[in-house]
Amino acid sequence: MKIVIVGGTGLIGRRVGQILQESGHEVVAASRSTGVNVVTGEGLDDVLQGAHVVVDVPNAPSFEDGPVMEFFRASTQNLVAAEEKAGVGHHVVLSIVGTDRLPGIGYMRAKARQEEIVRASGIPYTIVRATQFFEFISALADGATEGDVVRLAPVLMQPIAAADVSKAVAHIAVGDALNDVIELAGPDALRLADVAADLLQATSDSRKVVPEISVGYFGGTVTDESLTPGHDDRVTRQLRGATSFSAWLNSIVRH
Ligand SMILES: NC(=O)c1ccc[n+]([C@@H]2O[C@H](COP(=O)([O-])OP(=O)(O)OC[C@H]3O[C@@H](n4cnc5c(N)ncnc54)[C@H](OP(=O)(O)O)[C@@H]3O)[C@@H](O)[C@H]2O)c1
């Protein structure tokens, strides 16, 4: 099968590509560095020629409200229009658990718009909503740092290893389109402030995490139901990653 991975040079895209290539598929990574710009549409028609499946995993260079909305709106519209012309049979998009529950957060609004465009496209699809990646926790800590203090909400989340996300996405990409949403989360519900503190301690980072619910998440108010899976009655399928946060921490500290 020819599988085009949009964002195929990124954290998830690279791993998904490797898994699919190892199982014998023809994989093409599409990103600006390989000559495909999904926001302008440059190179899309060419790369999609003969493609059976598209894995949609690019990310926006800016998470500011306006630019991030424009990124996911334009990229997804361009992509589904080009897929229609090429006769692509399955569009797999990676979204985020809680996307539709957090309209106060610009990034989540942009992902919700991306999901809507995919649903309305007429192309068979599977929407995979993952929780925050373990690999994303350091960026969350950096964004919340003032001096040597990191103010983060002690809110429940159920983070997952990028490797487990990639395995699940690769598996879904070679299956039938579900025309539905799957939630994908790590094995344990943990508090964001605790997870960040554990990461800083394990990496000998001297910053101090101060738990503060009022800081919210990307400026939006969050509760223990915002970022964890299992709260949307319309989502009936759920998958769990096998890697625990502590096992992942041990693995990065050893390397
Ligand atoms: N971070 C999390 O915890 C989390 C949780 C759930 C879901 N997600 C979703 O997972 C997806 C993948 O995230 P990631 O962390 O793997 O992203 P990433 O590592 O930042 O990679 C982004 C990819 O997008 C490509 N890209 C950027 N602009 C592009 C453009 N205009 N045209 C074509 N390609 C472009 C980049 O390559 P070039 O620079 O070469 O263009 C790169 O391959 C995102 O959609 C995100 O919303 C993330």
Enumerate the β-bridge partners of residue 184: 130, 239
CA of 235 to the centre of ligand 1 (A): 24
Residue whose Cα lies nearest atom 11 of ligand 1: it is 57
Is the CB–ligand 1 distance for residue 13 below 6 Å?
yes
- What's the confidence (pLDDT) of residue 20? 98
- What's the confidence (pLDDT) of residue 61? 96
- What's the confidence (pLDDT) of residue 152? 98
- What's the confidence (pLDDT) of residue 254? 83
- Tell me which of 14, 19, 31 to substitute to probe ligand 1's pocket, judged by most ligand atoms within 8 Å of the beta carbon: 31
CA of 70 to the centre of ligand 1 (A): 14
CA of 9 to the centre of ligand 1 (A): 8
- What's the confidence (pLDDT) of residue 23? 97
Query: Which residues, at least 6 apart from 78, have a Cβ–Cβ distance to it below 8 Å?
Result: 38, 39, 40, 41, 44
Residue whose Cα lies nearest atom 44 of ligand 1: it is 59
Closest CA relative to residue 241, chosen from 139, 84, 130, 110: 130
CA of 94 to the centre of ligand 1 (A): 10
Query: Which residues, at least 6 apart from 22, have a Cβ–Cβ distance to it below 8 Å?
Result: none
Tens of pLDDT, residue by residue, the chain (255 residues): 999 999 999 999 999 999 999 999 999 999 999 999 999 999 999 999 999 999 999 999 999 999 999 999 999 999 999 999 999 999 999 999 999 999 999 999 999 999 999 999 999 999 999 999 999 999 999 999 999 999 999 999 999 999 999 999 999 999 999 999 999 999 999 999 999 999 999 999 999 999 999 999 998 999 999 999 999 888 889 999 999 999 999 999 887
Strand order in the sheet with 149-152: 145-146, 149-152, 208-211
The DSSP annotation for 65-82 comes to: HHHHHHHHHHHHHHHHHH
Identify the H or E element spanning 138.
helix 137-143
Is the CB–ligand 1 distance for residue 136 below 6 Å?
yes
Query: Which residues, at least 6 apart from 143, have a Cβ–Cβ distance to it below 8 Å?
Result: none
Atom of ligand 1 nearest to the CA of 97: 6
Looking at this protein, which amino acid is placed at residue 100?
D
Contact 141, 207 (CB under 8 A): yes
Closest CA relative to residue 136, chosen from 253, 52, 245, 226: 245
- What's the confidence (pLDDT) of residue 27? 98
- What's the confidence (pLDDT) of residue 233? 86
pLDDT over 90 for what percent of the chain? 96
Alpha-carbon distances of 186 from 14, 17, 155, 159, 231, rounded to whole Å = 20, 21, 16, 5, 15
- Tell me which of 6, 12, 95 to substitute to probe ligand 1's pocket, judged by most ligand atoms within 8 Å of the beta carbon: 12
Q: How far apart are CA 145 and CA 238, in angstroms?
A: 33
CA of 97 to the centre of ligand 1 (A): 16
CA of 30 to the centre of ligand 1 (A): 11
- What's the confidence (pLDDT) of residue 157? 98
Contact 199, 138 (CB under 8 A): yes
Identify the H or E element spanning 164.
helix 162-173
- Tell me which of 15, 19, 39, 59 to substitute to probe ligand 1's pocket, judged by most ligand atoms within 8 Å of the beta carbon: 59
Q: Count CB atoms within 10 A of the CB of residue 119.
A: 15
- What's the confidence (pLDDT) of residue 234? 87
Burial 196-218 (b: 16+ CB within 10 A, else e): bbbbbeeeebebebebeeebbbb
Question: Radius of gyration over alpha carbons of the chain, in Å?
Answer: 18
Is the CB–ligand 1 distance for residue 96 below 6 Å?
yes
Q: How far apart are CA 1 and CA 46, in angstroms?
A: 17
Residue whose Cα lies nearest atom 12 of ligand 1: it is 57
Tokens for 95, please give them.
């979204």
Domains of the chain: residue spans and CATH: 2-254 (3.40.50.720)
